[in-house]
């Protein structure tokens, strides 16, 4: 059994904790640097990336988290969490600067605030058919060392770079737990 943290400064924390528990592991809400050092992996949830960034700085966690990621802490960022992980953000400053992708915040536009769509998965273990997008970012570019795990039409929506996993959609909101299981089993 692994201990998986969910950053709980802001955003959609509970549903991630439930998925972790459902997959037979221990989920803990993370609010301090001390809690950060007691986990096998971390989920950065959806929410508002600018608010989460502010709280990471205010609570003095940003630099600790950055160095933990550099030394190999497995992290799964969903939606706002993917924005926090990205190295490049169009018209904005990056936060953790870890994942080699370029992102556009709210890139699907206001007409498509929230939608559900079938994905093409490039990995067999990920069997989730429909994905939920909420004011989602768009991945505009990925470096060659970043693996594309799922696409919506031609656009990557789930990517992996070694110990970092990120999705522009919300796998905690659909019934299937395959994405969480993949992160915990294969990456943590």
Catalytic residues: 79, 170, 172
CA distance 69 to 161: 12
CA distance 90 to 41: 28
> Closest distance between ligand GLN and the C-beta of residue 166, in Å?
12
Closest CA to 132 of 83, 162, 167, 160: 167
CA distance 77 to 87: 13
Q: Count interface residues toward ligand GLN (CB under 6 A).
A: 11
Contact in structure between 172 and 84 (CB atoms under 8 Å): no
CA distance 134 to 160: 21
> Closest distance between ligand GLN and the C-beta of residue 144, in Å?
26
Contact in structure between 22 and 177 (CB atoms under 8 Å): yes
Q: Does 105 bind ligand GLN (CB under 6 A)?
A: yes
∠ Cα 148 184 4 (to 5°): 125
Q: Does 97 bind ligand GLN (CB under 6 A)?
A: no
Q: Does 8 bind ligand GLN (CB under 6 A)?
A: no
> Closest distance between ligand GLN and the C-beta of residue 10, in Å?
10
Say what the alpha-carbon torsion angle 73, 42, 99, 84 is, to the nearest 10 degrees. -130
Mask: binding to ligand GLN, 120-149, rule CB under 6 A, as x and -?
--------------xx--------------
Q: Which of 43, 79, 85, 119 binds ligand GLN (CB under 6 A)?
A: 79
Q: Does 49 bind ligand GLN (CB under 6 A)?
A: yes
Q: Does 106 bind ligand GLN (CB under 6 A)?
A: yes
Per CB under 6 A, which of residues 29..48 are in contact with ligand GLN? 46-48
Q: Give the binding site for ligand GLN (CB under 6 A).
A: 46-49, 79-80, 83, 105-106, 134-135
């Amino acid at each position: 059994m692994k201990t998986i943290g969910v950053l709980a400064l802001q955003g959609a924390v509970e549903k991630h904790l439930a998925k972790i528990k459902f997959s037979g592991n221990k989920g803990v809400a993370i609010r301090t640097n001390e809690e950060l050092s007691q986990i096998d992996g971390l989920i950065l949830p959806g929410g508002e990336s600018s608010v989460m960034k502010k709280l990471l700085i205010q609570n003095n966690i940003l630099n600790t988290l950055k160095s933990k990621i550099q030394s190999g802490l497995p992290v799964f960022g969903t939606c706002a969490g993917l924005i926090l992980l990205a190295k490049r953000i169009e018209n904005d400053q990056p936060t953790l600067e870890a994942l080699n992708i370029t992102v556009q915040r709210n890139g699907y536009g206001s007409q498509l605030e929230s939608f559900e769509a079938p994905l093409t998965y490039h990995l067999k273990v990920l069997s989730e058919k429909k994905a939920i997008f909420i004011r989602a970012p768009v991945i505009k570019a990925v470096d060659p060392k970043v693996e594309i795990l799922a696409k919506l039409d031609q656009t990557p929506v789930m990517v992996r770079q070694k110990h970092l996993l990120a999705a522009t959609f919300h796998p905690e909101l659909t019934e299937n737990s395959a994405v969480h299981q993949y992160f915990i089993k294969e990456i943590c």
